Amino acid sequence: MARAKKSLQEKVHEEMPEFAAEVAGLAVQDLNNRLAALAKGAEENEQAQEDDEELEQARAEASELAAPYRDAKKALRLRSRYVISLIREKGGQ
Protein backbone atom coordinates (compact mmCIF):
# COMPACT_ATOMS: atom_id res chain seq x y z
CA MET A 1 0.00 0.00 0.00
CA ALA A 2 1.38 3.41 -0.98
CA ARG A 3 2.10 5.95 1.70
CA ALA A 4 0.37 9.30 1.60
CA LYS A 5 2.58 12.04 0.21
CA LYS A 6 3.81 14.41 2.89
CA SER A 7 3.04 18.10 2.62
CA LEU A 8 5.87 20.58 2.24
CA GLN A 9 5.39 21.71 5.83
CA GLU A 10 5.49 18.13 7.15
CA LYS A 11 8.63 17.35 5.16
CA VAL A 12 10.50 20.45 6.34
CA HIS A 13 9.43 19.99 9.97
CA GLU A 14 10.61 16.37 9.84
CA GLU A 15 13.87 16.87 7.96
CA MET A 16 14.86 20.35 9.19
CA PRO A 17 13.08 21.07 12.47
CA GLU A 18 15.55 23.77 13.58
CA PHE A 19 15.17 25.66 10.30
CA ALA A 20 11.37 25.39 10.42
CA ALA A 21 11.31 26.77 13.96
CA GLU A 22 13.77 29.53 13.10
CA VAL A 23 11.85 30.93 10.11
CA ALA A 24 8.29 30.33 11.33
CA GLY A 25 8.24 33.49 13.45
CA LEU A 26 9.95 35.82 10.97
CA ALA A 27 8.22 38.86 9.49
CA VAL A 28 7.65 39.00 5.73
CA GLN A 29 10.64 41.32 5.15
CA ASP A 30 12.89 38.97 7.11
CA LEU A 31 11.52 36.02 5.11
CA ASN A 32 12.31 37.90 1.88
CA ASN A 33 15.86 38.51 3.13
CA ARG A 34 16.19 34.82 4.04
CA LEU A 35 14.92 33.84 0.58
CA ALA A 36 17.53 36.09 -1.05
CA ALA A 37 20.26 34.51 1.08
CA LEU A 38 19.04 31.04 0.13
CA ALA A 39 19.07 31.97 -3.56
CA LYS A 40 22.64 33.26 -3.21
CA GLY A 41 23.64 30.04 -1.45
CA ALA A 42 22.07 27.97 -4.22
CA GLU A 43 23.96 29.98 -6.84
CA GLU A 44 27.26 29.55 -4.98
CA ASN A 45 26.62 25.82 -4.65
CA GLU A 46 25.86 25.54 -8.38
CA GLN A 47 29.08 27.39 -9.23
CA ALA A 48 31.11 25.20 -6.89
CA GLN A 49 29.64 22.12 -8.54
CA GLU A 50 30.53 23.45 -11.99
CA ASP A 51 34.08 24.20 -10.82
CA ASP A 52 34.61 20.76 -9.27
CA GLU A 53 37.07 19.07 -11.63
CA GLU A 54 36.96 15.77 -9.76
CA LEU A 55 33.18 15.65 -10.14
CA GLU A 56 33.47 16.43 -13.84
CA GLN A 57 36.01 13.63 -14.28
CA ALA A 58 33.72 11.22 -12.43
CA ARG A 59 30.80 12.22 -14.65
CA ALA A 60 32.89 11.71 -17.78
CA GLU A 61 33.99 8.31 -16.55
CA ALA A 62 30.45 7.32 -15.62
CA SER A 63 29.22 8.46 -19.01
CA GLU A 64 31.90 6.40 -20.71
CA LEU A 65 31.09 3.33 -18.62
CA ALA A 66 27.37 3.71 -19.31
CA ALA A 67 27.80 4.15 -23.08
CA PRO A 68 27.37 0.45 -24.00
CA TYR A 69 24.17 0.27 -21.95
CA ARG A 70 22.79 3.44 -23.57
CA ASP A 71 23.65 2.06 -26.99
CA ALA A 72 21.95 -1.25 -26.19
CA LYS A 73 18.81 0.54 -24.91
CA LYS A 74 18.71 2.69 -28.03
CA ALA A 75 19.06 -0.34 -30.30
CA LEU A 76 16.39 -2.28 -28.39
CA ARG A 77 13.94 0.65 -28.57
CA LEU A 78 14.57 1.06 -32.28
CA ARG A 79 14.13 -2.66 -32.94
CA SER A 80 10.97 -2.77 -30.83
CA ARG A 81 9.47 0.22 -32.64
CA TYR A 82 10.31 -1.39 -35.97
CA VAL A 83 8.66 -4.70 -35.00
CA ILE A 84 5.58 -2.80 -33.77
CA SER A 85 5.39 -0.94 -37.08
CA LEU A 86 5.59 -4.25 -38.95
CA ILE A 87 2.81 -5.71 -36.79
CA ARG A 88 0.58 -2.70 -37.54
CA GLU A 89 1.52 -2.82 -41.22
CA LYS A 90 0.42 -6.47 -41.36
CA GLY A 91 -2.90 -5.72 -39.70
CA GLY A 92 -2.06 -6.75 -36.15
CA GLN A 93 -2.53 -4.75 -33.05
Helices (H), 1-93: 8-15, 17-24, 28-51, 53-89
Question: Is residue 14 domain-shared with residue 45, that is, in the same domain?
Answer: yes
Total domains in the chain come to 2
pTM of the model: 0.63
Question: Is residue 62 domain-shared with residue 46, that is, in the same domain?
Answer: no
The answer to whether residues 49 and 55 touch, using CB atoms and an 8 Å cutoff, is: yes
- Residue 83 has a pLDDT of 96
Question: Is residue 38 domain-shared with residue 62, that is, in the same domain?
Answer: no
- Residue 62 has a pLDDT of 97
Question: Is residue 47 domain-shared with residue 60, that is, in the same domain?
Answer: no
Question: Is residue 36 domain-shared with residue 65, that is, in the same domain?
Answer: no
Question: Is residue 35 domain-shared with residue 80, that is, in the same domain?
Answer: no
pLDDT one digit per residue (tens) for the chain, 93 residues: 677 888 999 999 999 999 999 999 999 999 999 999 999 999 999 999 999 999 999 999 999 999 999 999 999 999 999 999 999 999 987
What is the sign of the dihedral through the CA atoms of 18, 20, 24 and 29?
A: positive
Give the domain extent around 35: 1-51
